Chains A and B, each alone.
Chain A
């Protein structure tokens, strides 16, 4: 930790948050708000005189509220940076009449109540998302009595109590009477592996963390009765089974079954009822302290950052990697990588491994000092352009400028163009060609697909990042769906031009699906808004023409939603079966004569 603080190449911004990310791989502009600490970080020597005189006493977050700190404080003894800071909401105020005690005692004069939040803009080539996790709050699991019974602790609270630097100097005491408990129980999978509350996934670390805690207890208090209530013990890692065996040898009891209820006894101990599934009998245990092995949840900032950077999440709410086996630390967005629990629950070793992997992936990208961009960009066909300006309005990247006054044709900035194809789809004069996804190429696919037995087929347009990936995910999961669904891949649903859809119907497609990333998750900021508008517009026209609008469907399917993809294909097939041969023939005729 201290290495980070003094490394000449690392700029450390604490009490800071990323509030905006613009740009693209190689050249991101990141806006960061650095909150005021009211103490000059560089001058503060962490002497602590200020905290001695501060009259405000507050629960200490680092010690899970089991100890106290002042309004001016250092987060914990080994903190980096070690400088003090003031929680301004708690501070009584700098008006001398009110308080200002800290200012008086600070020799270095580093306390300054006029500091304000700073906005910092950083220009970077790559981003590593290492936002970590949020420990599960077991309050909602009322049956375990957390917060109702004081001697029921979370694993993190327990962790602080056995820590030599913690509020009890490492001696384990009960919060109610500060005596050493003679028996301690651990309940596993709290907030994990449950379809009811918390996450459905395994949080990965809680089994081993509990085993570690039992060893710590047995080391300090060999006679203590220690019991662990569990579903399975997952000790799969290197050296893990050994610790599990050691724990059992030391007399820790592992009881297979999660308690159904916890009650408090008169002396503030906990009486738990559990169905022991190894013996199929109902057992009661009385324990002087109970520790809930809390699971991991995605960090609170996950969704905000996901939207800001156009990333994707798994159904569990953690970040989705570009490929689960082959690109486990890459985001689908080039230049962004994941490290640690942001991507899913993992232990320290795995977090460190992944972090080093992410660092190398970033270096691999940056070491040449230049970046090659995909030539999938928009090109204006100047003779056809009427300078109407639509393309400039729809481009999510402001990559097009149109000089309407002087009737100059549109100009695409190819470095800024991300290749969504929305401009090309929205230009009413066919004046924009999309490289690698030209009208001709896509219509060629549509025609080839519908050349034979068109009436038996489902035409699907799928965006590369979400829906096409979702279809791949259905494949990886071996989800079965009707074999008449055929996908045309586009980079973005925004590329799906009206004429592709009309062409599909003209060639006899019974049904057409346009699919893309969920609103808010679009890989191209908000290009899918235009998709939605366009599909609605076409459906209106279909109604007017007497073509059933149900034959054109729009569905948002994320890269993680293999099931949703397969279900949608079944639904499309059900709709297809309602479309008669006559209906198709009429549509073809209508559209051919228009």
Chain B
């Protein structure tokens, strides 16, 4: 029975990480269900955390400016942004840290909006507790982040378009006129799709072909 191979409990800060934590209010989107200030204060004395703040809008220009300044002033080597889903703003914050010389993979997010404040509304105690745990989890992960470099690969400058109706035709012409090769695949013997069958079309009331 193998349930072994588990590394030692990983709470230490063996990488000597210098982490900045930002708990975003997103206006009221997060702040109405999560006590952001409390979450930020709670994270402040976690291993590896150099500074921890709540912030009105992390993604806004002033928000990003502040974080970048903090990174430079405090020699932070990684940040945790506790805000919306990484599926939304991970690229934004990756770029942000990169612009002040951090590797983009040294940024970690905790999802306090889609997966906390919005799904535990009017439950400020439990939502705040969960937010604290989510931030702890992100910090723990952040301590073990490693810089990574993107590879570049050659790419074929050509597009396949599946379907030769009005949308496929328009996309094909836009691409081809911009100098890209296009292969347009249509199941029927002619392109044109449903549009070709129409007499007049709204709102202009003119012919479709």
Alpha-carbon distance A28/B157, docked complex (angstroms): 11
Q: Which residue on chain A has the smallest CB distance to residue B154?
A: A370
Question: Which stretch in B7-15, B49-57, B65-73 binds the other chain?
Answer: B7-15
Confirm or deny: A371 has a beta carbon within 8 angstroms of a beta carbon on chain B.
Answer: yes
Q: Quick check: is B76 within 8 A (CB to CB) of the other chain? A: no
The interface size of chain A toward B, counting residues with CB under 8 Å, comes to 148
Q: Is the CB of B137 within 8 A of A355?
A: no
Instruction: Say whether B87 contacts A128, CB under 8 Å.
Output: no
Q: How far is the CB of A281 from chain B (nearest CB, A)?
A: 32
Mark B134-176 against chain A: 1 for CB-CB distance below 8 A, else 0: 1011111101111011111111111111111111111111111
Counting CB contacts under 8 A, is B2 at the interface?
yes
**Does residue A105 face the partner (Cβ distance < 8 Å to B)?**
no
A212 engages B157 (CB within 8 Å) = no
Say whether A125 contacts B164, CB under 8 Å: no
| Interface residue ranges of A73-132 to B (CB < 8 Å) | 74-76, 78-81, 85, 122-132
Are A10 and B151 closer than 8 Å at their CB atoms? no
Contacts of A430 in B (CB 8 A): 5
The 8 Å CB contact of A14, one of B9, B186, B197, B199, is B186
A340 within 8 A of partner (CB): yes
Whether the Cβ atoms of A4 and B163 lie closer than 8 Å is no
Contact, CB under 8 Å: A366 / B10: no
Q: Most chain-A Cβ atoms within 10 A of its Cβ — which of B3, B121, B192?
A: B3
- B95-112 CB contact bits vs A (8 Å, 1 = yes)? 000000000010000010
B126 to chain A, nearest CB (A): 4
Size bracket of the B interface: 35 or more
- Among residues 229 to 263 in chain A, which have CB atoms less than 8 Å away from a CB atom of chain B? 237-240, 242-243
Which of these, B2, B11, B167, B185, contacts A351 with CB under 8 Å?
Answer: B167
* CA of A131 to CA of B188, assembled, Å: 11
**Set of chain B residues within 8 Å of A519, measured between Cβ atoms:** none
- Shortest beta-carbon distance from A385 to chain B in Å: 15
Interfacial chain B residues near A383, Cβ < 8 Å: none
A442 contacts across to B, CB distance below 8 A: 141
Q: Which of A16, A240, A376, A541 has the largest number of chain B CB atoms within 10 A?
A: A16
Flag if A9 contacts B191 (CB, 8 Å).
no
A373 and B11 within 8 A (CB): no
Contact with B along A535-556 (1 / 0, CB 8 A): 0000001001100000000000
- Tell me which residues from 1 to 34 in chain A have a Cβ below 8 Å from any Cβ of chain B: 1, 3-5, 7, 9-18, 25-28, 30, 32
**A128 partner, pick from B7, B145, B162, B176, beta carbons under 8 A:** B162
Q: Are B145 and A212 in contact (CB under 8 A)?
A: no
**Of B1, B168, B178, the contact of A339 (CB 8 Å cutoff):** B168
Interface centre among B120, B160, B209 (most CB of A within 10 A): B160
Contact with A along B108-138 (1 / 0, CB 8 A): 0001011110111101001101100110111
Contact B191–A1 (Cβ < 8 Å): yes
Question: Are B196 and A480 touching (Cβ within 8 A)?
Answer: no
CB distance from A247 to the nearest CB of B (A): 11
In the assembly, what is the distance between CA of A479 and CA of B114, in Å?
A: 10
The docked-state distance in angstroms from the alpha carbon of A545 to that of B133 is 30
Find out whether the CB atom of A130 lies under 8 angstroms from the CB atom of B137: no
Check if B196 sits within 8 Å of A76, measured CB to CB.
yes
A209 with B202: CB separation less than 8 A:
yes
Given contacts A326-B88, A476-B118, contact A435 B148 (CB under 8 A): yes
CA distance A479 to B182 in the complex (A): 43
Candidates B119, B152, B186; contact of A12 at CB < 8 Å: B186
Q: Are A436 and B148 in contact (CB under 8 A)?
A: yes
- The interface residues of chain A lying within 8 Å CB-to-CB of B189 are 14-15, 37, 75, 79, 85
Say which one of A195-203, A403-411, A496-504 lies at the interface with B: A496-504
A401 proximal to B (CB < 8 A): no
Q: Report the separation of the CA atoms of residues A414 and B123 in the bound assembly, to the nearest whole angstrom.
A: 45
Q: Does A159 contact B (CB under 8 A)?
A: yes
| CB–CB B156/A124 < 8 A | yes
Q: How far is the CA of A160 from the CA of B141 in the complex (A)?
A: 63
Instruction: With A129-B162, A215-B205, A541-B1 as known contacts, state yes or no: A18 contacts B119, CB within 8 Å.
Output: no
Interface check A163, CB cutoff 8 A:
yes
Whether A132 contacts B193 in the complex (CB less than 8 A), given A212-B205, A471-B114, A472-B85, comes out as: yes
A30 adjacent to B168 (CB under 8 Å): no
**Bound-complex Cα distance A356 to B175 (A):** 9
The answer to whether B105 touches A375 (Cβ under 8 A) is: yes
Bound Cα distance from A342 to B77, whole angstroms: 44
Expressed in whole angstroms, the minimum distance between the Cβ of B178 and any Cβ of chain A is 6
1/0 per position for A336-373, CB-CB distance to B under 8 A? 00011110000111011011101110110111111111
Once the chains bind, are A14 and B118 in contact (CB under 8 Å)? no
> Are A125 and B192 neighbours in the complex by a CB distance under 8 Å?
no
Q: How far, in Å, is A381 (CB) from chain B's closest CB?
A: 13
Asked whether A483 and B130 contact (CB < 8 A) given A370-B153, A499-B6, the answer is yes
- CB-nearest residue of chain A to B109: A489
B183 CB–A CB distance under 8 Å: yes
Q: How far is the CA of A415 from the CA of B166 in the complex (A)?
A: 36
Residues from chain B with Cβ under 8 Å of A594 in the complex: 1, 3-4
In-complex Cβ contact of A441 among B145, B174, B183 (8 A): B145
- From B129, B138, B197, A62 is in contact (CB under 8 Å) with B197
Are B136 and A449 interface neighbours, CB within 8 A? yes
Task: Enumerate chain B residues within 8 angstroms of A18, measured Cβ to Cβ.
Answer: 160, 162, 185
Instruction: Identify A366's interface contact among B126, B155, B174, CB under 8 A.
Output: B155
Question: Can you spell out 7 A-B residue pairs with CB atoms less than 8 angstroms apart?
Answer: A10-B184, A79-B189, A123-B158, A130-B162, A131-B163, A370-B155, A373-B152
Q: Kindly list the 3 A-B residue pairs having the minimum CB-CB distance in the complex, ordered from nearest.
A: A340-B167, A475-B114, A79-B190
Extra contacts besides A28-B156, A130-B162 (11): CB < 8 Å: A10-B184, A13-B184, A15-B187, A17-B185, A26-B153, A125-B159, A162-B199, A239-B203, A323-B88, A363-B180, A483-B126
